């Protein structure tokens, strides 16, 4: 089994990513680390605990991390994820599981040292925790097997500003640290591919477990409404689950190496990811950019894992 740590700001689609990772039974999940993003750190942590209980995996450790971006103010996304981050689908109080002691960036470093060359990090949130881990342990890149992160958009438009994707926008300084850390296998899963992996209500009906189906239907309602309002399609994008999908089935995506950076000082373009497709800057490639995805195969993998 591939050893992973999943880093989340749970969030409706983070919750679906957690469900996919757990239900696939193909990943050794050493822990789930949480960060401020879609919702506050506390809310993201509580939501993660609730989802692990729903998934029947309360034994997986949850470790809280950064309570805000490196230098900026937090930017919650209640319009997309609802007040509680889960579209109101799991009302309080519904959880007995609690987070462990400890701090996510330290946990990431500890586990990387424990399993040198074996650990894959799957990041589905602003990259604050990983940036802090890299600042704390500059040799971390040489200990990691792979980092897969959901964030950025390289050809299409943004989803938080006209040009920026939410995770890179929420903590662009952290994204820059990660991109320039010298991580040998750094895979970017951006909106260019996640906007192709759409979940609609008919597909949700295919979930066989009644509790899971009802949770997914309820939690995605607000998310689907928002996606329809912005994109004219009645469905929602499986942004974060696709990052887990890439760890489970790498052949789902076509990746190409490019030099990638993130804008951190711009009035209109803050948080925008810039991919140097034609190597105009003459820099060494630092990122494997997902350029294609077999969306149908991923949707099947997702539904089959949740139905197993
Ligand atoms: C990303 O932003 C968040 O709102 C989602 O959870 C996902 O990680 C998509 O841009
Ligand atoms: Ca997320």
pLDDT of residue 215: 96
Average pLDDT over residues 85-102: 87
For the chain, strand residue ranges (E) read: 2-8, 27-34, 62-64, 119-123, 144-150, 186-189, 198-199, 236-237, 253-258, 260-262, 273-275, 287-293
List of residues 6+ apart from 138 with CB closer than 8 A: none
Selection from 275, 248, 270, 271 nearest residue 188 by Cα: 275
**What does the alpha-carbon distance between residue 69 and residue 122 come to, in Å, rounded to a whole number?**
18
Q: In degrees rounded to 5, what are phi and psi of residue 4?
A: -135, 160
**What does the alpha-carbon distance between residue 130 and residue 75 come to, in Å, rounded to a whole number?**
18
Verify whether ligand 1 is closer than 6 Å to residue 171 (CB atom): no
Q: What is the pLDDT of residues 245-292, one digit of tens each?
A: 999 999 999 999 999 999 999 999 999 999 999 999 999 999 999 999
Verify whether ligand 1 is closer than 6 Å to residue 239 (CB atom): yes
* 5 pLDDT more than 70: yes
pLDDT of residue 94: 64
Verify whether ligand 1 is closer than 6 Å to residue 167 (CB atom): yes
Average pLDDT over residues 110-136: 98
Q: What is the pLDDT of residues 179-236, one digit of tens each?
A: 999 999 999 999 999 999 999 999 999 999 999 999 999 999 999 999 999 999 999 9
* 293 pLDDT more than 90: yes
DSSP tally for the chain: helices H, then strands E: 13, 12
pLDDT of residue 91: 78
Q: Which of 16, 151, 172, 227 to mutate to test the pocket of ligand 1 (most atoms within 8 A of CB)?
A: 151
Tokens of 213: 């189906």
From the alpha carbon of 13, which atom of ligand 1 is closest? 6
Distance 244 CA to ligand 1 centre (A): 14
pLDDT of residue 95: 76
242 falls in which pLDDT band (50, 70, 90)?
Answer: very high
93 falls in which pLDDT band (50, 70, 90)?
Answer: low
* 1 pLDDT more than 90: no
3-class state of residue 249 by DSSP: coil
Q: Quote the pTM value.
A: 0.98
Neighbours of 272 (CB within 10 A): 23
- State the catalytic residues: 239
Distance 282 CA to ligand 2 centre (A): 32
Dihedral sign, Cα of residue 65, residue 82, residue 236, residue 57: positive
Residue nearest to ligand 1 atom 4, measured at CA? 38
Selection from 186, 184, 185 nearest residue 175 by Cα: 186
Mean pLDDT score across all residues of the chain: 97
Selection from 181, 196, 85 nearest residue 132 by Cα: 181
**What does the alpha-carbon distance between residue 307 and residue 23 come to, in Å, rounded to a whole number?**
8
Distance 55 CA to ligand 2 centre (A): 18
Distance 86 CA to ligand 2 centre (A): 11
Verify whether ligand 1 is closer than 6 Å to residue 150 (CB atom): yes
Average pLDDT over residues 67-80: 94
């Amino acid at each position: 089994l591939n050893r992973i740590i999943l880093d989340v700001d749970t969030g409706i689609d983070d919750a679906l990513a957690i469900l996919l990772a757990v239900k696939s039974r193909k990943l050794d999940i050493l822990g789930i680390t949480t960060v401020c993003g879609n919702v506050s750190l506390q809310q993201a942590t509580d939501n993660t605990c609730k989802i692990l209980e729903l998934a029947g995996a309360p034994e997986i450790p949850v470790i809280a991390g950064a309570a805000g971006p490196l230098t900026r103010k937090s930017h919650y996304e209640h319009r997309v994820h609802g007040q509680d981050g889960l579209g109101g689908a799991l009302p309080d109080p519904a959880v007995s599981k609690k987070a462990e002691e400890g701090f996510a960036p330290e946990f990431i470093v500890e586990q990387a040292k424990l399993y040198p060359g074996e650990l894959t990090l799957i990041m589905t949130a602003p990259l604050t925790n990983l940036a802090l881990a890299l600042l704390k342990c500059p040799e971390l890149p040489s200990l990691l097997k792979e980092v897969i992160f959901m964030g950025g958009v390289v050809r299409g438009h943004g989803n938080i500003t006209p040009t920026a994707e939410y995770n890179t926008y929420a903590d662009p300084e952290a994204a820059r640290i990660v991109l320039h850390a010298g991580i040998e296998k750094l895979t970017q899963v951006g909106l260019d591919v996640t906007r192709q992996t759409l979940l609609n209500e008919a597909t949700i009906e295919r979930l066989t477990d009644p509790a899971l189906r009802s949770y997914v239907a309820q939690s995605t309602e607000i998310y689907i409404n928002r996606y329809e309002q912005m994109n004219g399609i009645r469905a929602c994008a499986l942004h974060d689950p696709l990052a887990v999908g890439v760890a489970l089935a790498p052949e789902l995506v076509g990746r190409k190496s490019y030099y990638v950076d993130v804008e951190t000082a711009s009035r209109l373009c803050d948080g925008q990811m810039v991919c140097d497709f034609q190597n105009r800057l003459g820099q060494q490639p630092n990122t494997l950019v997902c350029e294609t995805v077999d969306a149908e195969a991923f949707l099947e993998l997702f539904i089959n894992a949740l139905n197993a």
